[in-house]
Structure 1
Amino acid sequence: MTTQPSRDLETFPNPTPERDYTVRFVIPEFTCLCPKTGQPDFATFYIDYIPGTTCVELKSLKLYMWSFRDEGAFHEAVTNRITDDLVTAIVPRFLRVTGRFNVRGGIYTDVTTEHRAEGWQPAAPVQLPPRE
């Protein structure tokens, strides 16, 4: 196999930078290692962001997420690292990263982080009439 895990997040220009829109990724096959036991941890990651001037390229995101497979990481630390790396790479207007980790010791763990660009305010939500 020629594809290898990588921490390089590639980007491309936002095709519609004048509009706020949400990009959502669902990554159901995330794995890392428990830093205490070395056993595998499994999670689904949800990444929602409103792009600034750039977007993250999907294959590089896949290889980036894969790069944690052999690394020991606490759930809180890995979720915050992913957030920091994405903010550095794409400088989004808004970013939310949620890691939903499978059960470990009878406990499920969800970790959610958020980033908002300085001065960015979301548009007011549009209230649609109820369906008749």
Structure 2
Amino acid sequence: MAGYDHLTQLGSKAALPASPDEAVLEAVPNPHPGTTYLVRFAAPEFTSLCPLTGQPDFAHLVIDYVPDALLVESKSLKLFLGSFRNHGAFHEACTLEVGKRLVDAIAPLWLRIGGYWYPRGGIPIDVFWQTGPPPEGLWLPDQGVPSYRGRG
């Protein structure tokens, strides 16, 4: 299909990358450039490892972005997020790495990410980052993840 010949993961078998550094985020053309609209990805089963203990950490990530010329190709995003499964990093590092890699890959007009981390040691950690103020006129719904009260 025209405009998609560069994709290496969609439509073929693609192994989970061993690390976020090996993961490739791919982009496709935005079919509505010049229109302000929101794209949301929710990853309620994101996992990574504590860099000190090696124990698993779990998060519900919500990624909102306003595309410019490019959209992130969703299979490559899924593989990128899955690559954190065996990656040791603190919650803050994982959340911001996801957001910043997306910005580098697709240069959105605006992006925000909410990392709602499940508690370890009785304390949940929520991490939020955005590239700046949202564009004027953007319909921006709440991320829909309540403050921790036994999330599930």
TM over 0.5: yes
> 1:130 is matched with which residue?
none
> 2:85 is matched with which residue?
69
Partner of residue 22 from structure 1, selected from 32, 38, 49: 38
Q: Supply the distance in 2 between the matched residues of 1:13 and 1:93 (Cα, whole angstroms).
A: 14
Cα RMSD for the two superposed structures: 1.7
- The 5 Å alignment of 1:75-90 reads 75-90=91-106
The letter of the residue matching 2:89 is A
Quote the offset at 1:5 in angstroms: 1.9
After TM superposition, the score normalised by the length of structure 1 is: 0.86
Q: Supply the distance in 1 between the matched residues of 2:87 and 2:81 (Cα, whole angstroms).
A: 11
Q: Supply the distance in 1 between the matched residues of 2:69 and 2:92 (Cα, whole angstroms).
A: 28
Gaps of 5+ in 2: 1-12, 18-22, 140-152
**2:118 and 2:125 in contact (8 A); partners too:** yes
The letter of the residue matching 2:75 is K
Give 4+ residue runs of structure 1 displaced > 3 Å after superposition: none
Q: Supply the distance in 1 between the matched residues of 2:44 and 2:119 (Cα, whole angstroms).
A: 14
Any idea what the Cα deviations from partners look like across 1:19-66, whole Å, max 9, x if unmatched?
010000100111000112100001110000000100001100000000
Gaps of 5+ in 1: 127-132
Any idea what the Cα deviations from partners look like across 1:50-97, whole Å, max 9, x if unmatched?
001000011000000000100111011111111110000000000001
Quote the offset at 1:125 in angstroms: 6.2
* SS state at 2:87 partner: coil
Q: Supply the distance in 1 between the matched residues of 2:128 and 2:63 (Cα, whole angstroms).
A: 10
Quote the offset at 1:121 in angstroms: 6.6
Q: Supply the distance in 2 between the matched residues of 1:125 and 1:25 (Cα, whole angstroms).
A: 17
> 1:9 is matched with which residue?
25
Q: Supply the distance in 1 between the matched residues of 2:101 and 2:134 (Cα, whole angstroms).
A: 22
- Aligned-residue identity in percent: 49
The letter of the residue matching 2:14 is T
Q: Supply the distance in 2 between the matched residues of 1:92 and 1:3 (Cα, whole angstroms).
A: 25
> 1:122 is matched with which residue?
135
Q: Supply the distance in 2 between the matched residues of 1:87 and 1:69 (Cα, whole angstroms).
A: 21
Higher strand proportion (structure 1 or 2): 1
Q: Supply the distance in 2 between the matched residues of 1:124 and 1:68 (Cα, whole angstroms).
A: 34
Instruction: Decide which structure has the larger Cα Rg and report it.
Output: 1
